[in-house]
Amino acid sequence: MELMLALGVGLFAGCGVYLLLRARSFDLILGITVLSYAVNLFIFATGRLAVDRTPILAPDTPATLAHYADPLPQALVLTAIVIGFGMTALLVAVALAARRAGDDDHVDAGRQEPQ
Partner 1 sequence: MNHWPIAPILLPLFTAVLLLALGRWRPAWQLPVNLLATAALLLICVGLLARAADGGVTAYLLGNWQAPFGIVLAVDRLAALMLALTAGLALASLLAAAPRWHTRGAHFHPLFQMQLMGLNGAFLTADLFNLFVFFEVLLIASYGLLLHGGGGRRLHASLHYVTLNLVGSALFLLAVSLLYGVTGTLNMADLAVKVAQAPDADLGLLHAAGLLLLVVFGLKAAVLPLGLWLPTTYGAASAPVAALFAIMTKVGVYAIVRVFTLIFVGERLAVAAPLLLSLGLATLLLASLGALSAGSLQRLAGYLTLASAGTLLATVGLAEPDALAAALYYLPQTTLAVAALFLLAELVARQRGDLAGALVGGPAVRQPALLGGLFLLVAATLAGLPPFSGFVGKLLILRSTVGGVDGFAVWTALLLSGLALLIAFGRAGSQLFWKVSPALEGSRHGVLAMIPVAWLLVGGLLLVVLAAPVLRFTEAGAQQLLAPAGYIEAVLGARPVQRVMP
Selected binder of partner 1 within 78, 83, 85, 104 (CB under 8 A) = 83
**Quick one: 21 or 58, whose CB is closer to partner 1?**
21
Helix axes 25-46, 2-21, angle to 10 degrees: 160
**Cβ count near 24 (within 10 Å):** 17
Binders of partner 1: how many residues, by CB under 8 A? Answer: 40
Binding of partner 1 at residue 73 (CB under 8 A)? yes
Selected binder of partner 1 within 14, 55, 71, 110 (CB under 8 A) = 110
Binding of partner 1 at residue 2 (CB under 8 A)? no
Selected binder of partner 1 within 72, 78, 85, 104 (CB under 8 A) = 72
- For partner 1, the binding residues in 6-45 under the rule CB under 8 A are 20, 25, 28, 32, 35-36, 38-39, 42-43, 45
C-alpha–C-alpha distance, residues 47 and 69, integer Å: 7
Binding of partner 1 at residue 91 (CB under 8 A)? yes
Instruction: Find residue 106's DSSP bridge partners.
Output: 24
Q: What is the DSSP letter of 109?
A: T
C-alpha–C-alpha distance, residues 51 and 20, integer Å: 34
What kind and span of H or E run contains 4?
A: helix 2-21
